[in-house]
């Protein structure tokens, strides 16, 4: 197939590095020219990013100021006009809205919008988020229904959620980001931590409930809990830096912040835990499972695809502190079950969520769109 251009718009370099870089590197190997647009957040550039052409693009994820939004769309328009891509791929809500708006001025460009979870706007039910939902629903419905626009979902629940609320031109189901099973693999290391939570520090991830459970367990027994990840100041559900420091000073957690290399920590942990309210397809659980860790997660979209109850871990209801506590204690007290669940985690990931499978699916989608566009011409 003749070489074509892909413009990949993602929120920030940190997310791109941890979730999407493997897909882009694979696409480049398949003779696709790629330009990545994202916000610069990493203090030190990872050498992996040197292999990709990146245009750093500063934008405010939280702003609702119409003048700032219009200015951002104009800046995007200029980049699109200059680069002349065949496909624009927007990942996450804000890039979807901004990237889709900027692409409306180009009738010959195809747009892919990846829904990577519903986010706090769709999970929370306070007055502010309800108003935001009303404000965002109209442009989102408009973009997802347009002829040259395609939508990718990470799980079938999210796909059903949107299809019940708006007309979607054409949708595809590609299960998450996948994980590099050659990089994330079990190592025979001493288990220092009982639990590892590695994700953004958000209330929607069930952190408050987890802390309450940790506090109760530690009254009766020793428990070492590792937290990997930073607060997200652009998200209203973010845990404050002061709160995290207070929890650490109280002896509830060991907090390391954001770590580019989490493999060592995962292999020093007994259980990967994520009591989230809802997910797209959590990379943290994929990485933990790939390292052969048993999983404790909530029975919600995204998590239940990676954690199969009583096969490689335990599923609990969101916000159910009693069952969460019971699951942690029973698993930590059963070495045979820890080993069994860990073995099954690794097997499940190898069979279903190898990053090579996911990258291949995205490239197939790109190629399919290009082929169909030639037929129309």
**Would you call 10 helix, strand, or coil by DSSP?**
strand
Distance of CA 314 to the CA centre of its chain: 21
Please determine, for residue 69, whether its predicted confidence score (pLDDT) is greater than 70. yes
Distances (CA, A) of 124 to 60, 131, 303: 21, 11, 18
**328-343 pLDDT tens trace:** 999 999 999 999 999 9
22-36, 56-70, 289-303, 313-327: range with lowest mean pLDDT? 56-70
Q: What is the mean pLDDT of residues 56-65?
A: 84
Cβ–Cβ under 8 Å, residues 123 and 203: no
What pLDDT was estimated at residue 365?
97
Mean pLDDT of 13-39: 95
Residues 4-13, mean pLDDT to the nearest whole number: 96
Model pLDDT, residue 65? 85
Band (125; pLDDT cuts 50, 70, 90): low
Residue % of the chain over a pLDDT of 70:
95
- Confidence band for 120, pLDDT divided at 50, 70 and 90: low
- Segment among 114-118, 239-243, 284-288, 351-355 with least mean pLDDT: 114-118
Q: Which residue has the higher pLDDT, 169 or 270?
A: 270
Q: What is the pLDDT of residue 119?
A: 65
User: Predicted confidence band at 161 (pLDDT cuts at 50, 70, 90)?
Assistant: confident
* 37 DSSP β-pair partners: 9, 55
Given a cut of 90, whether residue 289 has pLDDT beyond it is yes
Any idea which of 210-219, 228-237, 306-315 has the lowest mean pLDDT? 228-237
Q: Which domains does the chain have, with CATH numbers?
A: 4-178+355-375 (3.40.50.2000), 193-353 (3.40.50.2000)
The predicted pLDDT at position 156 comes to 87
Average confidence score pLDDT of the chain = 92
Would you state the pLDDT for residue 356? 96
pLDDT of residue 122 exceeding 70, the answer is no
> What pLDDT is stored for residue 219 in this prediction?
92
pLDDT of 124: 64
Nearest-angstrom CA–CA distance, 239 and 230: 9
Residue with tokens 């002349």: 84
Tell me what percent of the residues of the chain surpass a pLDDT of 90: 72
Q: Is 361 exposed, middle or buried (0-12, 13-18, 19+ CB in 10 A)?
A: middle
Mean pLDDT within 292-310: 96
Put simply, whether the predicted model's pTM sits higher than 0.95 gets the answer: no
pLDDT at 376 > cutoff 60:
no
- DSSP secondary structure code for residue 231 in this structure: B
The pLDDT, as a whole number, for residue 166 is: 82
Band of residue 195 on the pLDDT scale cut at 50, 70, 90: very high
């Amino acid at each position: 197939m003749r070489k074509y251009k892909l413009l990949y718009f993602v929120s920030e370099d940190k997310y791109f590095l941890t979730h999407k870089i493997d897909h882009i590197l694979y696409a480049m190997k398949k003779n696709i020219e790629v330009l990545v647009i994202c916000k610069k957040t990493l203090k030190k550039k990872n050498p992996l990013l040197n292999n990709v052409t990146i245009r750093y693009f500063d934008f405010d994820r939280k702003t609702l100021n119409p003048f700032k939004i219009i200015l951002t769309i104009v800046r995007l328009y200029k980049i699109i006009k200059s680069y002349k891509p065949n496909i624009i791929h927007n990942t996450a809500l804000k890039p979807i809205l901004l990237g889709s708006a900027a692409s409306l001025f180009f009738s010959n460009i195809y747009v892919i919008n990846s829904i990577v979870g519903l986010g706090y706007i769709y999970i929370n039910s306070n007055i502010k988020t309800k108003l935001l939902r009303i404000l965002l629903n109209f442009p989102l419905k408009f973009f997802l229904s347009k002829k040259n626009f395609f939508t990718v979902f990470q799980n079938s629940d999210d796909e059903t959620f949107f299809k019940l609320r708006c007309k979607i031109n054409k949708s595809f189901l590609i299960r998450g980001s996948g994980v590099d099973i050659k990089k994330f693999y079990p190592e025979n290391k001493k288990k220092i931590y009982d639990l590892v939570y590695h994700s953004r520090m958000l209330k929607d991830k069930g952190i408050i409930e987890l802390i309450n459970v940790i506090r109760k367990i530690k009254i009766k027994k020793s428990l070492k809990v590792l937290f990997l990840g930073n607060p997200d100041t652009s998200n209203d559900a973010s845990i404050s830096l002061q709160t995290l420091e207070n929890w650490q000073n109280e002896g509830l957690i060991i907090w390391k912040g954001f770590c580019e290399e989490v493999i060592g920590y995962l292999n020093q942990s007994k259980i990967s835990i994520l009591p989230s309210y809802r997910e797209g397809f959590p990379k943290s659980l994929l990485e933990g499972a790939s390292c052969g860790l048993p999983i404790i997660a909530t029975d919600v979209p995204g998590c239940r695809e990676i954690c199969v109850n009583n096969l490689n871990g335990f599923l609990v209801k969101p916000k159910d502190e009693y069952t969460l506590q019971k699951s942690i204690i029973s698993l930590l007290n059963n070495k045979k079950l820890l080993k069994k669940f860990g073995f099954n985690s690794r097997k499940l990931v190898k069979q279903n969520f190898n990053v090579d499978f996911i990258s291949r699916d995205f490239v197939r989608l790109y190629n399919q769109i290009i082929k169909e566009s030639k037929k129309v011409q």
